[in-house]
Structures are given as C-alpha cells and as structure tokens.
C-alpha cells in the first residue's frame, strides 16, 4: 500500500504525481488553471483552498474522456470539478437520494438545479436515486468520488450498510476503476457520530471488506490544527478540518 504524504509542489510533489497512475503535475496545474477561470461560482472558488480540487483529481487519476460519478453530490461542488476534469468527451453522474435533496428545505436540490440550469454543464446527468439503485450497467464507470459523506453512511446505518454502499459502487466500476473517499478524521473512542467524523481505519476496513484494494491513503487534505474534538460544523474549524483521502481500486 502506498502512503502519499503530500502533493505539494517542488521535487517531492513532482515525484509523487509521476508515481500515480493518472494525471501528472502539469495536468494538475492545467486543471487548476481551468477551474480558476470560466463561470464557476465565487463560493466554489472560495472553497478551493481547503478542498484542493485539482490535486484531488490528480490523486485519483481522473482524466479527460472518463465516465465518473459524484456520489451524494449534494449541491454539486465536485460535480462541477469533475465536469471540467473529464471534459466534453467525458461523462459525469451527479447522484443524490431523496433525503439529501430534501434536507435543509431543499437546499441541495436548489443548488444543484441552479448549477446545471440551461445545460450549463452539458456532460453532467443527474441520478436522483439511492446508491443501491443507480441504474447503471455493471462495469461502466471509470471513477467515483464521495466527499465528506461516508461518515454519515457508516455512523447512521452501521458497518454493514457502509459495506453495502461500497459494494454498490464496486459493481458499476470497471475493473481497475477507482473510488475516492474523502472524510473528516475521527479518533477512536470519540462520539464520531455526533462530531460528524469517522476513523480512517474503519473506512479502510469497510473498503477491503467490499472488495477494494486500498491503493493509497493520501495526506493532501490533512490539517494538523484540527484537534478532532470539535464538531466539523464548529465555526472555528468549518472548512478547515483534518481529512483523509483514500484511493480505492477495483481489482483488474
């Protein structure tokens, strides 16, 4: 298993990017440039510093022309990032279930609808379905991502349900396809359900049980200033939490 300690610029960053199976450093710079231009919302641009979308895409090896899915896409921040990354020859599915679309008085439904209004992201298709009922052909997707969601799946429904979530994604991925899991780091013994966090080791164990190879555990979104004892929505750390990034691969 490869432990990716950083995706910073310079010699170490270059070596790490070249070691990964997908994009290289130049591609990451190019994507970052494209994301900084165009008509992306200012609120999305403001999130980029903490979420490092170009580096995340490079870490996962998402490339132009791929078919990918944003799982529990909510308002679609990563949906748009992926849309730019895969380009006009690629395809992005934005998946949300009914609960996610109706929560907070329909905030996610409104945000995603506005994002896609007028065919603005022409390569994006919405999937308003449960993950277990995606309706996609088996082995038809190159890559997937779920960002800051897996803790809710695990903490609210248990380990078996979390494995079921992962197995449903596994089924639609092509052999060699990737799933990126990004989440808030939780500590053993803490009330991670209340804090909206999860231990990285639990996510790793669930991924392995679902059949995935854990190819890398990336540190590109780590934040040492987060002491893990606060709820992720606490104003002092919101948007700046310590996060792990897993690169999971369906065996070829």
Other beta carbons within 10 angstroms of residue 80's beta carbon come to: 26
Angle at 75 between CA 74 and CA 80, to 5 degrees: 110
User: Is residue 84 within 8 Å of residue 66, measured between CB atoms?
Assistant: no
| Max Cα–Cα distance, the chain, nearest Å | 48
Which helix (DSSP H) or strand (DSSP E) does residue 222 occupy? none
Which helix (DSSP H) or strand (DSSP E) does residue 104 occupy? helix 98-116
pLDDT tens digits, residue range 164-201?
Answer: 999 999 999 999 999 999 999 999 999 999 999 999 99
Domains of the chain, first to last: 2-249 (3.40.50.150)
Rg (C-alpha) for the chain, rounded Å, is 17
- Mean pLDDT across 34-60: 93
pLDDT tens digits, residue range 94-141?
Answer: 999 999 999 999 999 999 999 999 999 999 999 999 999 999 999 999
Instruction: Report residue 79's pLDDT band, with 50, 70 and 90 as the boundaries.
Output: very high
For residue 23, pLDDT over 50 is answered with no
> In the chain, pLDDT over 90 holds for what percent of residues?
86
Q: According to the model, what pLDDT value does residue 27 have?
A: 74
Q: According to the model, what pLDDT value does residue 28 have?
A: 83
Q: According to the model, what pLDDT value does residue 9 have?
A: 32
Q: Which residue has the higher pLDDT, 147 or 23?
A: 147
Averaged pLDDT score across all residues of the chain: 90
- Residue 22's nearest CA partner among 143, 105, 161, 103 is 143
């Amino acid at each position: 298993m490869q432990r990716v300690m950083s995706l910073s610029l310079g010699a170490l960053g270059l070596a790490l990017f070249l070691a990964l199976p997908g994009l290289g450093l130049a591609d990451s710079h190019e994507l970052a440039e494209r994301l900084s231009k165009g008509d992306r919302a200012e609120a999305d641009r403001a999130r980029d510093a903490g979420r490092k979308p170009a580096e995340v895409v490079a870490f996962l090896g998402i490339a132009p022309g791929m078919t990918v899915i944003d799982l529990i896409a909510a308002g679609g921040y990563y949906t748009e990032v992926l849309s730019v990354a895969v380009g006009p020859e690629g395809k992005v599915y934005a998946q949300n279930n009914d609960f996610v679309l109706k929560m907070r008085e329909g905030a996610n439904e409104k945000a995603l609808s506005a994002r896609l209004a007028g065919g603005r992201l022409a390569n994006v298709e919405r999937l308003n379905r449960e993950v277990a009922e995606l309706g996609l052909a088996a082995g038809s997707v190159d890559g997937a991502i779920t960002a800051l969601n897996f803790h809710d799946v695990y903490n609210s429904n248990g380990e078996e349900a979390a494995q079921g979530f992962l197995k449903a994604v596994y089924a639609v991925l092509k052999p060699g396809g990737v799933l990126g899991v990004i989440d808030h780091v939780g500590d053993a013994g803490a009330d991670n359900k209340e804090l909206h966090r999860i231990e990285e080791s639990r996510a790793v164990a669930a991924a392995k049980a679902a059949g995935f190879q854990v190819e890398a555990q990336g540190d590109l979104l780590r934040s040492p200033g987060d002491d893990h004892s606060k709820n992720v929505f606490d104003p002092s750390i919101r948007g700046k939490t310590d996060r792990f990034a897993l690169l999971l691969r369906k065996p070829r």
